[in-house]
């Protein structure tokens, strides 16, 4: 299983858009499963992960099925991850912070 | 505990208009939203709004959000962002949670403008990473400037499916096809025509049978359906896509209202379960109002008008400014009726009528 599908300077960030301009914040380093990744201040952890090619956020409790995120607005609980050791963090709502450690959640997660 | 006066949950077009109106009538107002920015759905809508008779047609959703925000900031409204209303305690207290704390806030009047949440549908592997609601795709690409994938299958040809498909193309993402179970396209012809010109196939009488992939989406199986929406054997086709976007309708977010004990009614034309409300948007619990998609899935212009009505009525019952409020309410009701007479307002009009008939 590959941790991510693309390397740094990933092409998934939109730079030219006919209508929108993206004023990204300061560049931030964070860690996904121990691996350093870059994101921007002002985006959510979920957004930064997707931009780095991470698709699997957690594995379901019973059938260990891979889960990504679905709603991106804090309504579906599909995106729960372990953030700085804290399980069940809704990463589609959680702002990205410098040095934050993000891990895939397996099952319920222990507190 | 602090008292929020008129507390409005949700800072989309409905909540913003409710807040602006109530504050302009001199009522103390607190507006709560779980996002870092006000605007609700509007902050990701890059397209120009379509032609309902409201003032904002022809303006992009993102610009409407800014306009409303400016109007709000000219009032003394208290705005609480990054905060979710997670529960209600009797008689009139809300539980608020942000990342670190839980607080309570009491209210004298409550307006629930929480919007709607996206529906999903049944198919094999529908829980795989890479399957998103249309709103999620919009949030990623229009708010954060991130592409969800390279090749997308769009499920649903209502206005949302069509508009988001076009936005995907604008963001440099390929749309393999738009599929629709009904025999005809659901949304406005102008939106469909834009896609057709760009060579994107819109396949009617088609559904998704399965998502392919183990850890995440690597493809999809689509097939034709018959008149009864049953898949037709032998018509399966495999598409190589890395993203499946579901635009298959919305359901009103009504948890807070049902927790409060507002009487609920099930009305398919409004998107499912809604809190019964009268012409002034007041529910069966006195002083508790609902507006926008939470009161029945419709569009931004109607959400704004409903918000204005709820805000004006709630404020009048607090400040006593009934005459001023009445003028606002009557004008808004007049505009609402005009919008709902149009071909795309018909469904909601029927739904609201049906609700009124279930007298409370
Ligand atoms: C892709 C798409 C395209 C659309 N295109 C058009 C169009 O062209 N023209 C048009 O008129 N309409 C369009 N609409 C519909 C329009 O956006 C909605 O009808 C409108 O936004 C509804 O407004 P609202 O204020 O009721 O809800 P929303 O805009 O959804 O706002 C609700 C807000 O409440 C917040 N919230 C919810 N629950 C809580 C809680 N418990 N605590 C705190 N905050 C909470 C939400 O995060 C959100 O910010 C479109 C919708 C979508 C999804
Ligand atoms: S993706 Fe739905 S709650 Fe985070």
> Residue B289 pLDDT more than 70?
yes
**In this predicted structure, what is the pLDDT of residue A16?**
87
- The per-residue pLDDT for A6 is 40
Chain A residues touching B120 at Cβ < 8 A: 70
A79, A88, A89, A94: residue to mutate for ligand 2 pocket, most atoms within 8 A of CB: A79
How many other CB atoms sit within 10 Å of the CB of residue B53?
13
Q: Which of B146, B251, B255 to mutate to test the interface with A (most CBs of A within 10 A)?
A: B146
Report the pLDDT value the prediction gives residue B343, as an integer from 0 to 100. Answer: 76
The whole-number pLDDT of residue B95 equals 97
State both tokens at B25: 């009538």
**Does B321 have pLDDT greater than 80?**
yes
Q: How far is residue B125's CA from residue B106's CA, in Å, rounded to a whole number?
A: 44
Does the CB atom of residue A10 touch ligand 2 within 6 A?
no
User: Tell me: the pLDDT tens digits for A5-59?
Assistant: 444 445 689 988 998 888 899 999 999 999 999 999 999 999 999 999 999 999 9
> Please, what's the b/e burial string for B70-90 (b: 16 or more CB within 10 A of its CB; e: otherwise)?
ebbeebebbbbeebbbeebee
Q: How confident is the model at residue B52 (pLDDT cuts 50, 70, 90)?
A: low
Q: At residue B221, does pLDDT exceed 60? A: yes
d(CA A50, CA B302): 34
CA distance B52 to B64: 14
Q: What pLDDT is attached to residue B99?
A: 79
Look at residue A77 and tell me whether its pLDDT is greater than 50: yes
Q: How many A-B residue pairs are in contact by the CB < 8 A criterion?
A: 100
Distance B51 CA to ligand 1 centre (A): 18
Which residues, listed in sequence order, are joined to residue B3 by a DSSP beta bridge?
Answer: B106
Q: What is the ipTM of this complex?
A: 0.89
Q: Is the pLDDT of residue A4 over 60?
A: no
The alpha carbon of residue A29 is apart from the nearest alpha carbon of chain B, in Å, by: 17
Reported as a single tens digit per residue, the pLDDT across A56-74 is: 999 999 999 999 999 998 8
> A17 CA distance to ligand 2 centroid (A)?
26
DSSP B301-331: HHHHHHHHHHHHHHHHHHH--HHHHHHHHHH
- B352 Cα: distance to centroid of ligand 2 (angstroms): 30
Report pLDDT digits (tens) over B117-174. 999 999 999 999 999 999 999 999 999 999 999 999 999 999 999 999 999 999 999 9
Least confident of B59-63, B271-275, B311-315, B333-337: B59-63
Angstrom distances, CA of residue B81 to CA of A79, B117, B161:
21, 19, 29
Count CB-CB contacts under 10 A for residue B125.
19
Residue having the nearest C-alpha atom to atom 39 of ligand 1: B114
Inter-chain touch A56–B36, beta carbons under 8 Å: no
């Amino acid at each position: 299983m590959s941790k991510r599908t693309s390397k740094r300077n990933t092409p998934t960030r939109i730079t030219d858009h006919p209508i929108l301009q993206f004023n990204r914040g300061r560049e931030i380093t964070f860690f996904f499963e121990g691996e350093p990744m870059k994101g921007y201040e002002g985006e959510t952890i979920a957004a930064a992960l997707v931009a780095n090619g991470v698709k699997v956020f957690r594995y379901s409790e019973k059938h260990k099925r891979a889960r990504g995120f679905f709603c991106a607005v804090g309504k579906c609980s599909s995106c729960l991850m372990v953030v700085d050791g804290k399980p069940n963090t809704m990463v589609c709502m959680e702002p990205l912070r410098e040095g934050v450690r993000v891990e895939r959640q397996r099952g319920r997660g222990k507190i | 505990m602090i008292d929020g006066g008129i507390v409005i949950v949700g800072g989309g077009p409905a909540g913003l208009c409710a807040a602006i109106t109530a504050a302009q009538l001199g009522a103390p107002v607190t507006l709560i939203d779980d996002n870092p920015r006000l605007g609700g759905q509007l902050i990701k809508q890059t397209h120009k709004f379509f032609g309902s008779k409201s003032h904002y047609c022809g303006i992009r959703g993102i610009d409407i959000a800014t306009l409303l925000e400016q109007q709000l900031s000219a009032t003394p409204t208290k705005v609480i962002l990054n905060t979710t209303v997670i529960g209600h305690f009797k008689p009139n207290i809300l539980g608020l949670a942000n990342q670190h704390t839980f607080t309570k806030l009491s209210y004298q009047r409550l307006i629930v403008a929480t919007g709607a949440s996206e529906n999903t549908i049944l198919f094999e592997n529908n829980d795989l990473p890479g399957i998103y609601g249309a709103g999620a795709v919009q949030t990623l690409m229009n708010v954060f400037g991130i592409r969800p994938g390279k090749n997308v299958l769009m499920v649903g040809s209502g206005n949302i499916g069509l508009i988001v498909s076009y936005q995907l193309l604008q963001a440099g993402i390929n749309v393999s096809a738009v599929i629709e179970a009904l025999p005809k396209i659901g949304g406005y012809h102008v939106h469909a025509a834009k896609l057709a010109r760009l060579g994107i196939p819109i396949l009617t009488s088609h559904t998704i049978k399965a998502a392919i992939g183990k850890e995440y989406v690597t493809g999809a199986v689509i097939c034709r359906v018959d008149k009864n929406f049953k898949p037709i054997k032998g018509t399966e086709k495999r598409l190589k896509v890395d993203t499946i976007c579901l635009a298959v309708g919305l359901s009103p977010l009504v948890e807070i209202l049902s927790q409060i004990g507002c009487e609920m009614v099930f009305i398919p034309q409004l998107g499912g379960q809604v809190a019964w409300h009268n012409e002034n948007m007041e529910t069966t619990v006195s002083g508790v109002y609902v507006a926008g998609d939470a009161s029945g899935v419709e569009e931004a212009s109607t959400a704004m008008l409903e918000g204005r009505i709820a805000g004006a009525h709630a404020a009048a019952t607090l400040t006593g400014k009934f005459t001023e409020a009445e003028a606002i309410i009557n004008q808004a009701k007049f505009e609402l009726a005009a919008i709902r007479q149009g071909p795309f307002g018909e469904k909601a009009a029927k739904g609201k009528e049906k609700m009124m008939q279930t007298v409370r």
